[in-house]
Amino acid sequence: MAVLKIREYPDPVLRQKSRRVVAWDEPLEVLIRDLTETLYEVPGLGLAAVQVGVPLRLFLYDMNIQDKKGKPGLTILINPEITASEGEVREEEGCLSLPEYRELVTRASRVEVKALDRKGKEIRVTGEGLLARLIQHEIDHLNGVLMLDRLSSLKRALFTKKLKKRLKQHEMDLALR
């Protein structure tokens, strides 16, 4: 097992639409184990395969991750599809691929999802509140959509300006070494 590198915006892999998983084999199991290890090493609740550079329709999450005393509650969703959604809520969101950035994002307040588990068996998940937000966020990743795409053009422009400034500072720091 390995902790994988999280790809950060503007890495082009984050804009790829992920391919469906078609084989339940050892490489898939290795990916799931590596994603799991990575999830438990980063400050997040969920992780999509594309965020580590593997554009497959797969993500996992653990809603108990913040409670270190709680039992692990890892859920793996392969080829997920939102089958129903309702309501609307606007809350703050962050993303491992957009480090140190949080913003208000509008999402459905409740979603129902159909997916496959790590053995290829169909499962259904209903999420409300934070779980609904997480599911929608991770499925967006599988579709090449970032939370930036759900912001106003003004908010996106402000983010881009901050990013360019941060990248320029990083280049200057490297030049001084």
| Cα distance between residue 54 and residue 74, in whole Å | 20
CA distance 144 to 125: 22
pLDDT of residue 176: 79
Domain count, the chain: 1
Strand, coil or helix: what is 86? strand
Report residue 156 as tokens. 């996106």
User: Catalytic residue among 8, 91, 138, 171, which?
Assistant: 138
The CATH number that applies at residue 99 is 3.90.45.10
Q: How far is the C-alpha of 76 from the C-alpha of 27, rounded, in Å?
A: 15
| Predicted local distance difference test score (pLDDT) of residue 156 | 87
Q: How confident is the model over 124-137, as pLDDT tens digits?
A: 999 999 999 999 99
* Each residue's pLDDT tens digit, 36-89: 999 999 989 999 999 999 999 999 999 987 655 555 789 999 999 999 999 999
Is the residue at 66 inside a domain?
A: yes
Whether residue 46 contacts residue 60, with contact meaning beta carbons closer than 8 Å, is answered with yes
**138 has catalytic annotation:** yes
b (16+ CB within 10 A) / e for 122-148: eeebebeeebbbbbbbbbbbbebbbbb
Share of the chain above pLDDT 70, in %: 95
Secondary structure of residue 109 in the 3-state scheme: coil
Looking at the domain assignment, is residue 167 inside a domain? Answer: no
* 111 part of a folded domain: yes
The answer to whether position 171 is within a domain reads no
Query: Which residue range forms the structural domain that includes residue 101?
Result: 12-151
* Separation CA 128–CA 113 (nearest Å): 11
In a domain, 24, yes or no: yes
pLDDT in tens, 147-159: 999 998 998 888 8
Q: Which DSSP letter does residue 160 get? A: H
How big is the chain by its Cα radius of gyration, in Å? 17
